Chains A and B, each alone.
Chain A
Amino acid sequence: MQVSVDKELIRVVDLHKSFGDLHVLQGVTEQISKGEVVSVIGPSGGGKSTFLRCLNLLETPSSGHIYFEGTDITDKKVDINVHRQKMGMVFQHFNVFNNLTVGKNITLAPVLLGKKTQAEADDMAKELLERVGLSDKIDQYPKKLSGGQKQRLAIVRALAMEPDVMLFDEPTSALDPEMVGEVLLVIKDLVKTGLTTVIVTHEMGFAKEVSNRVFFMDGGVIAEKGSPDEVFNHPQNPRTREFLSKVLY
């Protein structure tokens, strides 16, 4: 898929992040366009999750700039809360709100932030839950849900804000194996709608199947990037080859 520059959604310029002495991101410069599906792969500690968490400033970058829809969100004067409403995030450990029912999990943010009335939000919650097969759970508390159900809830909770981009941080890593499929299916359906998506994942088959582009991150930089075919089938960087030889067997 060819993407023109004017459709740019996120631009990252020389992004650095350190935790104390640990220099996790060592200068990432990249851009993501509207409608793109980007998978971020690579070994643990390579900076994948930190990169993703920097995109909505859950981690504050040590230096560098992040432009989202043309605005430099690393600028201290920018109200990040406004921009976060447009960036949905799904976490490895689901992080569904334990004190709220499934329905309330979805409607809280849109109602509180004035995007929807409670009635509108309720209708949307029903619709979204139907889409991921959780309609019957609307009045239950998350405690009763399985891991796969929690993650599906977390996905539609983010969708309820009608974001312009979805960020997935290893969405299936904390799941029992038999539940990975149901979550990947939901993400796959989502990707088909044309929503811009960035996925940090260890599911190589999935990354290969759904992405337009793949980033291989190692040592705090994007060591290799390209189409799934380029990265998975014809990797140029020896580190990519080594990594793939270990995970694809």
Chain B
Amino acid sequence: MEFFNVMLKLWNQYWKLFLEGLGMTLFMGLLTVMLSTIFGSIMALMRRSRWGIGKFRPLNAIAAVYVEVIRGTPILLQLYFFYFMLPQWLPFLALTEFQCVLIACCVNSTAYVCEIVRAGIQAVDMGQTEAARSLGLNSRQTMIHIVLPQAVKNILPALCNEFVAIVKETSLASTFFVGELMTQFKTIQGITYRVLEPLTIVGLIYFLVTFVLSKLIALLERRMNASER
């Protein structure tokens, strides 16, 4: 009982901090997903490009290496890397800590979104492309009018799932005290010398948010499947 009483007390006293943290977490997550959707889509198109010299396709190669490197290294390492590298290599940008962390998150997420978009396009039946090409549509027209509209149905739910994953991954940004939910836990821990109670509150908030989001995604998916009547 003692445990819950402390939790309640903490909430009453610091709810503003918790909610501020949540706001920051969602803000970071949303910004990351939006930016990485743009860059990830470009990356996916690079990955699919056939342009090249002989058998060497530079755009494809760059994208492939990027995806492999980012997926093959821990996100925490990437955060450290950009946090220290960016101000040192690009001092004229005068990036804030938050901006460095956000860039790191985007760089990470772009690799995953690239794969989501690529898989979404690839999952569209090859016959759809063949039918369009057999009518005389060129590859761009086929992509825009036939493949992408169908790929979006595969991509959108996966993107939402990526958002849920990012919301949780931003907690790693607390290493640099950028003010998201996990940072607030550390702050409150510093003030009150309590660990488990604020941690549980933060955990509950994370869970509630991701749970609700997951349910919304499931709804979205069902809606989209029904949309073609």
> Which A residues fall within an 8 A CB radius of B?
56, 58, 81-82, 84-85, 87-89, 91, 93-99, 108-109, 112-113, 140-141, 143-144, 154, 157-158, 161
Contact = CB atoms under 8 A, between A and B. Distances in A.
A109 B136 contact: yes
B134 A58 contact: yes
B74 interface: no
Contacts of A98: 128, 150, 228
14 contacts: A58-B130, A81-B137, A84-B135, A89-B131, A89-B134, A95-B130, A97-B128, A97-B146, A98-B228, A99-B146, A99-B150, A108-B135, A154-B131, A157-B135
A58 B137 CA distance: 13
B148 to A, nearest CB: 9
B137 A95 contact: no
A144 B134 contact: no
A95 B229 contact: no
A113 B137 contact: yes
Given A81-B138, A82-B136, A96-B131, 7 more contacts: A58-B130, A94-B127, A95-B130, A98-B128, A98-B228, A99-B146, A112-B141
B153 to A, nearest CB: 8
Interface string B120-151: 00000101101111111110010001100110
B184 to A, nearest CB: 45
B126 to A, nearest CB: 9
B9 to A, nearest CB: 55
B136 A113 contact: yes
Contacts of A158: 134-135
B174 to A, nearest CB: 43
Contact of A95 (B125, B145, B149, B228): B125
B138 A87 contact: no
A157 to B, nearest CB: 7
B135 A95 contact: no
B229 A140 contact: yes
A97 B132 contact: yes
Contact of B229 (A87, A89, A143): A143
Nearest to A160: B135
Nearest to B131: A95
A211 to B, nearest CB: 22
B120 to A, nearest CB: 13
Interface in B128-182: 128, 130-138, 141, 145-146, 149-150
Contacts of A112: 137, 141, 145
A109 to B, nearest CB: 4
A95 B138 CA distance: 17
Contacts of A99: 146, 149-150, 228
Contact of B135 (A93, A143, A144, A161): A161
A57 B136 CA distance: 11
Contacts of A140: 229
A108 B131 contact: no
Nearest to A84: B136
B133 A97 contact: no
A11 B180 CA distance: 69
A109 B135 contact: yes
Interface in B89-115: none
A154 B140 CA distance: 22
A91 B128 CA distance: 10
B228 A143 contact: yes
Nearest to B138: A81
A237 B146 CA distance: 45
A91 B137 CA distance: 16
A84 B141 contact: no
B196 to A, nearest CB: 52
Contacts of B125: 95
